[in-house]
Structure formats: structure tokens, C-alpha cells
Amino acid sequence: MIGILLLFWAGYQNFDLVFNQYQNNYGQSAWNTSEIGQAIKDYTDSIGNEENAHVVAFPHWVDTRLVGINAGFPTKDFAIWPDQLEATKEVEGPKLFVIKIDDTGSIDILQSLYPSGILQHNISDFPNKDFYQFFVLPE
């Protein structure tokens, strides 16, 4: 009887460790590439295509290759550097830019390039993982 009780107690402890404590710790430490990937997937499923979706690169932020995998485009790297943003003016169609919440320089560049662009604050399920989406509608 004590063996069965110990077995259930150990099972409960392991379940809590793996599915609660580890999951919470991982969610707070890892960047939210799945949420960014879902934002790009929603964009490509509605009005845009993957060629016009970008994640503005920022030091020590998300791995943009993982964003591609989570968006359903496993071979696509969505990174674009801030000094490459001006080149997107030549591309026609709607555009989506995902920006780190504290990358004000890239936001300023995008707002000067696309004055009618729409900046949207995307709130993450995890604290301190929010990001911006900047939409450019076709002219």
C-alpha cells in the first residue's frame, strides 16, 4: 500500500515539474516565435503573402528562422534589417512588419516611409514579450 502511495506521489511531483514549473519557466525565458509566426500566418491567410511579411531584426531578439517554421514556411527566414526597410517601397502589395516592442528606431523609419501605415500593439501571453505589427495597405 505504501508503494502505491509513493508511486502516485512521485507521479504527481513529476507531472507538476514537467507540465507546470518547466512550462512556466520556459515561457518566461524563450522568445515567442510561435505568436509572431501566428501573426504572419494570419496575414498570409488573409490579405498578404510571405514575401511581403518581415520581422525587423534586433539584437538578441527572436530567431527569425523559427518564426518561419511557426508560420508554416519552414524554409523562409523573415528577417529584414532596419537599413533594408527603404527597399520595401519598391515592392507592391500589402506589407507586414513585426517589430520588437522597444525598437523605436525601426518604427520611426517605417512611419516615415509609410505615413498611412497602421501600428498595432500585439499583447503576448507571456510578460515582456509583446511586439508591434506595422501594416501597410496597398495603394
Average pLDDT over residues 6-19: 85
**Tens of pLDDT along 94-135?**
999 999 999 999 999 999 999 999 999 999 988 889 999 999
> Minimal CA–CA distance to 49: which of 72, 79, 83, 82?
72
Statement: the pTM of the whole predicted model exceeds 0.75: yes
Helices (H) and strands (E) in the chain, counts: 5, 5
